[in-house]
Amino acid sequence: MDRMIFLAMNAAKQNLRAQNIAMNNLANTSTTGFKADFQAARAMPVFGDGHPSRVYSMVERPGIDFTHGAMVTTGNDMDIAVDGEGWIAVQAADGTEAYTRSGDLELTANGILQTRSGHPVIGNGGLITLPQNQAMVIGVDGTISIRPLGQEANTLAQVERVRLVNPPKDMLIKGEDGLFRMRDGAQADTDAFVRVKQGALEASNVNAVEQLTQIITLARQYEMSIKAMETSQRIDEASVQQMRLN
């Protein structure tokens, strides 16, 4: 009965892992620019003394769903959405460069341009700091122009340019903070062909109905694994009882 109970235990454990991935996706259905995680199970031989005669399953995250979310018009001049392929360069909490498609921007009290989640936006000259202004315009190429205080409406001064990149998708990995980085730890090259749209945001690409259905299916599979463990325990107890009678 040891094989049955260990297989059932592993099935329950892997179902919990799969549920965690699906629930994380579901929790981010309203997160700007979020990219859903895929999940898959594969066979893993159990190595030890002798030949690997047992095979367990192992749930893993094989990749990311890079499909674009819907572009939502907000009318807010501080919002930008990547139009097509590409990424916005930001500074992660550890000080390294990372990439996101979340363009919900804001200014700190010190004039630092950052995403609403607190990641400073990187420009061609480093972190972007803007002086006080009456209006801000972000061009399709990421160029930031402002109307200084006290100036006429048609007076715009170019101050910086958001660093936009477009590395190959197979070179990107997703961190636990939701930001993307290059697999080799390098920085992606600036891509002059990446375009952004001011006054819009990219919505999450998570399909809430699909993820919820998956969670329900995985929960039922988990219950089946628990029942298999209980059945194994009852069979084991019956076998012990039978041996005592003999």
pLDDT tens readout for residues 180-213: 999 998 999 999 999 999 999 999 999 999 999 9
pLDDT in tens, 25-58: 999 999 999 999 998 887 777 777 777 767 777 8
Same domain, 47 and 138: no
Same domain, 21 and 83: no
Same domain, 88 and 181: yes
Q: Please tell me which residue, 189 or 60, carries the higher pLDDT value.
A: 189
Q: Please tell me which residue, 106 or 42, carries the higher pLDDT value.
A: 106
Same domain, 88 and 148: yes
| Alpha carbon of residue 243 to chain centroid | 55
Same domain, 153 and 113: yes
Same domain, 52 and 75: no
Domain tally, the chain: 2
Same domain, 78 and 183: yes
Q: Rounded distance, CA 60 to CA 62, Å? A: 6
**pLDDT tier, 2 (very low <50, low <70, confident <90, very high otherwise):** low
Tokens of 146: 């402002």
Same domain, 189 and 100: yes
CA distances to 7, 36, 200 from 3, rounded to whole Å, are 6, 35, 55
Same domain, 20 and 94: no
Give the residue numbers spanning the domain of 238.
2-65+206-245
Same domain, 187 and 101: yes
Is 19 in contact with 190 (CB distance < 8 Å)? Answer: no
**Minimum mean pLDDT among 50-59, 120-129, 209-218, 224-233: which range?**
50-59
- 229: three-class secondary structure by DSSP: helix
Inter-axis angle of helices 208-245 and 2-27, nearest 10: 160
Same domain, 150 and 77: yes
Same domain, 26 and 94: no
